[in-house]
Chains A and B, each alone.
Chain A
Amino acid sequence: METIKIQGTEDTPKVILDKDNDLMEISGRSLPEDVTSFYEPVLTWLDEYSQSPNKKTIFNFKLVYFNTASSKLLLDILMKLEEIHEAGNDVLIRWHFPEDDEDMEEAGEEYADIVDVPFEQVSYSG
């Protein structure tokens, strides 16, 4: 299946969706001018991936900033992952946050409350 690699910019996150190498990551900053069209390929990719997911799916979020419009789309992504999990597959979300960023940590906790999927909070320094 096709691999998605999008370089991060000052207002859009880096995105890696690589089924063959078990890499799924969204990182950096997210305040795109048009959130819906930015995340559309990600959601489409996940729809296709959900047809035949890997044995274990680990999805990494390592965002340093996202705006409220992005928060809605991130939830849409998490809900797709929840569906894959509900279909009986092994799924893990890793939510990375800077150790001194309580708001980002809390955002992860909130998503973990909303979606029913194994969720791991990972703090990092710097």
Chain B
Amino acid sequence: MDNKKDVKGFLEFVYEFYKTMKAHEITLVYEGEITHQITKAFTSLTESNMAKDDEPGNVQRKVFHVMVECLQNISKHADDFMSSDFLFSGRGIFLVSKGENEYSVTTGNAVDNDRIEELTNMLETINKMDKDGLKGLYKTQMKEGRLSDKGGAGLGFIDIKRKTGKELEYHFLPISNDTSFFLLTSTISRDDI
């Protein structure tokens, strides 16, 4: 009897979850480890959906760019974070939503609190820069930045801002005294393209 009740409760939750996804126009949501295989699967899925919707080529390309950089950001950085808390260790959330005039790509992953300042500074610097400033910074980073052992060159955020022309929205939510959940959302607007 109890089991039946649990199942019913769960299914009701699934329906609520579905409605919430619809309300937020979420077309793809994933929680878990982000690997290169996952990156390939999600980008090709989104690509074929966009092609089916006759999305213009430049919108498709920009969404593709932003998705790849966001996914690679998490896959490179999520495992920097070693947590005994199974909820947050080495994993992240990734979602894509499609509104009437825009696509949004959102990521979330746990970070150590001592990285907040660095991330905030980097994002604020990039957000304040105009097109030419970003171009200059990208060139400098490409020339002088070294690839980290995980293949990051510090170029991802700059590239996202350049491709979308929009500020990167972000938020840190506390998990514990040492850690926070880092959320980042990028918007690709059809009107600007």
Give A contacts to B, CB under 8 Å: 10-11, 31, 33-36, 65, 67-69, 71-73, 75, 98, 100-103, 110, 113-114
Contacts and interface: CB of A to CB of B under 8 A. Distances in A.
Contact of B155 (A68, A98, A113): A68
A101 B61 contact: yes
Nearest to B145: A72
Given A69-B151, A100-B57, A103-B62, 13 more contacts: A11-B40, A35-B151, A36-B151, A68-B69, A68-B155, A68-B158, A69-B155, A71-B153, A71-B155, A101-B61, A103-B61, A103-B163, A110-B138
A31 B159 CA distance: 14
How would you classify the secondary structure of chain A's contact residues: helix, strand, loop or mixed? helix
Interface string B148-160: 0001110110110
15 contacts: A10-B44, A11-B40, A31-B39, A33-B36, A34-B151, A36-B151, A65-B65, A67-B72, A69-B72, A71-B153, A72-B155, A98-B57, A103-B62, A110-B135, A114-B142
Contacts of A31: 39, 68
Interface residues of B, number: 28
B143 interface: yes
Contacts, number: 61
What 4 pairs between A and B have smallest CB-CB spacing? A68-B155, A33-B36, A72-B153, A69-B151
B147 A36 contact: yes
B58 interface: yes
Interface of B: 36, 39-40, 44, 57-58, 61-62, 64-65, 68-69, 72, 135, 138-139, 142-143, 145, 147, 151-153, 155-156, 158-159, 163
A97 to B, nearest CB: 12
Nearest to A34: B151
A100 B61 CA distance: 11
A71 B40 contact: no
Contacts of A103: 58, 61-62, 65, 163
Contacts of A69: 72, 147, 151-153, 155
Contacts of B152: 69
A71 B142 contact: yes
